[in-house]
Amino acid sequence: MSRSAHPAGPRHADVLPEGHYSAPPTDLNALDPKVWAQTVDRDADGVVTVGGMTVTQLAEEYGTPAYVLDEADFRSRARAWRTAFGADADVFYAGKAFLSRAVVRWLDEEGLNLDVCSGGELATALAAGMPADRIAFHGNNKSPEEIERAVRAGVGRIVLDSFQEIVRVAHTAQSLGGRQRVQIRITVGVEAHTHEFIATAHEDQKFGIPLAGGQAAEAVRRALQLDGVEVIGIHSHIGSQIFDMSGFEVAAHRVVGLLKDIRDEHGVELPEIDLGGGLGIAYTSDDDPREPHEIAKALTEIVTRECEGAQLRTPRISVEPGRAIVGPTAFTLYEVGTVKPLDGLRTYVSVDGGMSDNIRTALYDAEYSVALVSRTSDAEPMLVRVVGKHCESGDIVVKDAFLPGDLAPGDLIAVPATGAYCRSMASNYNHVLRPPVVAVRDGAARVIVRRETEEDLLRLDVG
Ligand code: LLP
């Protein structure tokens, strides 16, 4: 289950204890809509289709491995978030989950804003024509060049992460003759991952300014004195792959407490509050994510209630979902290269990608599912571990899953829910080439990020 997804740390090809995996599913050919993109189905021949294209067509035309992204699904999830929060709130898609120029244009068309956290992400957003005032610029160590570029571009907000940065941004904006709108990122002492959260323990990390010890209040005090910045709000991001809303409840309570202190001390009611991203998705059938309208309702109610209690005007709320928008919209399509049964253990299925296109299994112990997609099969289920082609025993894509016992080299298999943090965290380990992202919609496919080539690798290697 993906509740064990986050304790980071490398995992080698350890043999899991007996009983770790659940029983085989009753129908190996079924595709659980919770984990697959919205338009995924099987055609009359049993071949999986997405956006009206078969995976065999896609593999033939674009090769494997490939990330296949369902554009209609992406747009509908983006729209669902936008609609759920309505005109009185803002949705900033977190570009770190997956960013490309096509994605930026879809977001723009669907009325979402964009969160970027590096010069490279900012450049991509601007190159695709995202209006700068709809961009939020994040990061715990923005370089002077990045700050200057963001200010010159006119980004709607810079999220300040340290005392040094308050001064840096204020000076940059002032020297350019302007005033930069900023939020101050604070840590509220809440750590939320998956199904649980810890309400006191998480100030020991690099992001934000701790609420504890009055540091966040001091940061606001200093920022309010500087002409180069206009403090528009407080930012809090509490974690990743969260299902339990009570972490947000505690965070909102603490942020509103700070807003009240600011009002009492400075006579200023800050107009915005950003609650970050982190909402969970289904990686396997065991996960039960919430719908955007439920999340919007819960967050709005929490903030409104807290503000009423503190006799504050309810600030404009913003959120920054990344995974929850793009995660479920893509799957990774692989070709099976070898099938190696290990007696009494499991069968190792090697695919033509691996930890270079999905580092999350090795890095976070993340859970994924997998299916045979180029055909159906009535063969008995076999317990498999899907591994890549890298020179490393921890090169695991799917730790434990069931595939049909007649699986053979040349079959296509696909791992769903790889839209977030797979292409964006992909590497060239072993000089393996990063796969393309192929967007499909209404019976047509187009490459939105092309496959890397050996020439690309050699171009960086100046010899
Ligand atoms: N806002 C801020 C300030 C963030 O730091 C993040 C994620 C997000 C929004 C978006 O979070 P999301 O809704 O996508 O969970 N590489 C990890 C996730 C790291 C997330 C870092 N910050 C993974 O593969 O799970």
Q: Looking at the structure, tell me whether residues 256 and 403 fall in a common domain.
A: no
Q: Looking at the structure, tell me whether residues 332 and 252 fall in a common domain.
A: no
CATH number at residue 273: 3.20.20.10
Decide whether any atom of ligand 1 lies within 6 Å of the 77 Cβ.
Answer: no
* Predicted confidence (pLDDT) per residue in 40-82, tens digit: 999 999 999 999 999 999 999 999 999 999 999 999 999 999 9
- Tell me what pLDDT residue 197 has: 79
Q: Looking at the structure, tell me whether residues 125 and 208 fall in a common domain.
A: yes
Q: Looking at the structure, tell me whether residues 180 and 312 fall in a common domain.
A: yes
Task: Specify the pairing of strand 396-404 against strand 381-387.
Answer: antiparallel
In a domain, 218, yes or no: yes
Residue that has been written with the tokens 């879809």 in this structure: 106
Answer yes or no: are the C-beta atoms of 385 and 34 closer than 8 Å. no
Mean of pLDDT over the chain: 94
Q: Looking at the structure, tell me whether residues 385 and 270 fall in a common domain.
A: no
pLDDT band at 369 (very low <50, low <70, confident <90, very high): very high
Q: Looking at the structure, tell me whether residues 161 and 98 fall in a common domain.
A: yes
pLDDT band at 1 (very low <50, low <70, confident <90, very high): very low
Atom 23, ligand 1: which residue's CA is nearest? 421
Decide whether any atom of ligand 1 lies within 6 Å of the 322 Cβ.
Answer: yes
- Tell me what pLDDT residue 7 has: 40
Residue range(s) defining the domain that contains residue 64: 41-70+328-460
Q: Looking at the structure, tell me whether residues 82 and 230 fall in a common domain.
A: yes
Q: Looking at the structure, tell me whether residues 53 and 139 fall in a common domain.
A: no
* Boundary (domain end) residue, out of 285, 304, 325: 325
Residue 307 is a catalytic residue: no
In a domain, 340, yes or no: yes
Decide whether any atom of ligand 1 lies within 6 Å of the 384 Cβ.
Answer: no
* Predicted confidence (pLDDT) per residue in 141-190, tens digit: 999 999 999 999 999 999 999 999 999 999 999 999 999 999 999 999 99
Instruction: Give the number of other CB atoms < 10 A from CB of residue 202.
Output: 19
Q: Write down the pTM of the prediction.
A: 0.95
In a domain, 32, yes or no: no
pLDDT band at 302 (very low <50, low <70, confident <90, very high): very high
Beta partners for residue 69, in sequence order: 330, 439
Atom 20, ligand 1: which residue's CA is nearest? 240
- Tell me what pLDDT residue 21 has: 60
Q: Looking at the structure, tell me whether residues 231 and 336 fall in a common domain.
A: no
Q: Which residues are annotated as a binding site for substrate?
A: 323, 360, 364, 392, 421
Greatest CA span in the chain, whole angstroms?
72
Residue 17, pLDDT > 90, answer no
Half-sphere exposure of 103 (CA within 13 A, CB side): 32
Q: Looking at the structure, tell me whether residues 173 and 216 fall in a common domain.
A: yes
* Boundary (domain end) residue, out of 325, 351, 378: 325
Decide whether any atom of ligand 1 lies within 6 Å of the 324 Cβ.
Answer: yes
